[in-house]
Amino acid sequence: MNALLAANAVAGVASVAFALVGGVRPAALSGSGTPSAGERFYGWMYATRAVPLGVAAVLVPIAWPGPASSLILSAAAAAQVGDAAIGVATRKWTMIAGASLLTAVHTATAATTA
């Protein structure tokens, strides 16, 4: 259980880090040379949602294991499924792999903390 909580914490921190990079330097994730105003806007819009969810995914299973933890982790896993789908649509294999791994970790943690 402790190893799974640690893996979940690493997954949540990674998710927060990528969200912040997307907000601060959207071109680093999109691959565009110079990000447009719209790209910067959507980078920050994504970060304002992903950062709190990632922080909750790290802290809630440790502080409040049980149904609340399972719900938060299921929401985090669903967000990662969406990220993987975007990766498929844009053919970004690292995004597919990373989001799929985080989906599995959040789902496994949700199942064991419920």
Average pLDDT along the chain, 114 residues, taken 10 residues at a time = 92 94 86 84 92 96 93 96 95 94 96 88
In this prediction, residue 54 carries a pLDDT of: 95
How many CB atoms sit inside 10 A of residue 112's CB? 16
Taking a C-beta distance cutoff of 8 angstroms, is the pair 4, 99 a contact? Answer: no
Q: What residue spans define the domains of the chain? A: 2-113
For 52, the token pair is 């709190």
25, 21, 14, 26: which is closest to 54 by C-alpha? Answer: 14
In this prediction, residue 27 carries a pLDDT of: 84
In this prediction the pTM is: 0.88
